[in-house]
Amino acid sequence: MTQVRPMRADARRNYERLLKAAAEAFAEHGEQASLDDIAKRAGVGSGTLYRHFPTRQALLEAVYVDTIEALGNRGDELAKELPPGEALGEWLYEVCIGTIQVRGLKSLLGSAVTDGSNVALTACGTHMKGAAQRLVEAAQREGTLRKDVESIDVLRLAHGVASASELANGGTQHLRRYLSLLTEGLRT
């Protein structure tokens, strides 16, 4: 069994500075923010950035892990507060809001629902897919969601709804309408 050594204090500081710098850069420039600029902002070399985060995807996930976990947990909270069909609809609305308002999150969620055998299942994908599956299955048991709908379908469609809303003036004012059109088509 391999033991994971704790990070040295300087490595931990570099890691934290990189996360802070990346969050700022992604907020300003989206998920395509320059990785070299992120390293520079953090006051470290590019090698240090890549040692901690070998890919852009790994950095995005590290920056947004708390947001993703909160979205997944929010699905469980809504399931306790609302009937299953309503909980699913409200959760999808909140996921769409998040993907529009938090630059970089849309790309991360998009890669989490990509179909491909060579795509590793990320923590983001695991958390979001789990929440979606629980909500979809509950709505199907309730009879408000078609039996042939899979949780991955719902996540992909929500990603598309967020994109459609961005195309319509780049805001969130059309989200409820688009989600309503979507969920009506998914009903039994």
Is 40 in the same domain as 113?
no
Q: Where in the sequence is the domain holding 64, given as residue range(s)?
A: 56-186
Tokens at 155, concatenated? 């996540």
Instruction: Report the CATH number that the domain containing residue 3 is assigned in CATH.
Output: 1.10.10.60
Is 116 in the same domain as 87?
yes
Q: Which pLDDT value is given to residue 3?
A: 57
Is 61 in the same domain as 33?
no
Q: Which residues of the chain have pLDDT under 70?
A: 1-7, 112-113, 115-124, 170-171
Is 134 in the same domain as 175?
yes
Is 61 in the same domain as 45?
no
Is 36 in the same domain as 63?
no
The count of domains in the chain is 2
- The domain boundary, picked from 16, 32, 54, lies at 54
Is 139 in the same domain as 157?
yes
Q: Which pLDDT value is given to residue 61?
A: 86
Number of H helices, E strands in the chain: 9, 0
Instruction: Report the CATH number that the domain containing residue 176 is assigned in CATH.
Output: 1.10.357.10
Helix axes 151-167, 105-112, angle to 10 degrees: 150
Q: What is the DSSP string of 72-87?
A: HHHHHHHHHHS-HHHH
Is 1 in the same domain as 47?
yes
Reference 66, options 19, 120, 14; nearest CA is 19
Is 60 in the same domain as 50?
no
Tokens at 147, concatenated? 């039996």
Is 101 in the same domain as 175?
yes
Q: Which pLDDT value is given to residue 120?
A: 41
Find where tokens 């983001």 sit.
124
Is 83 in the same domain as 144?
yes
Residues listed for the chain: 188
Q: How many CB atoms lie within 10 A of CB 66?
A: 9
pTM above 0.85, yes or no: no
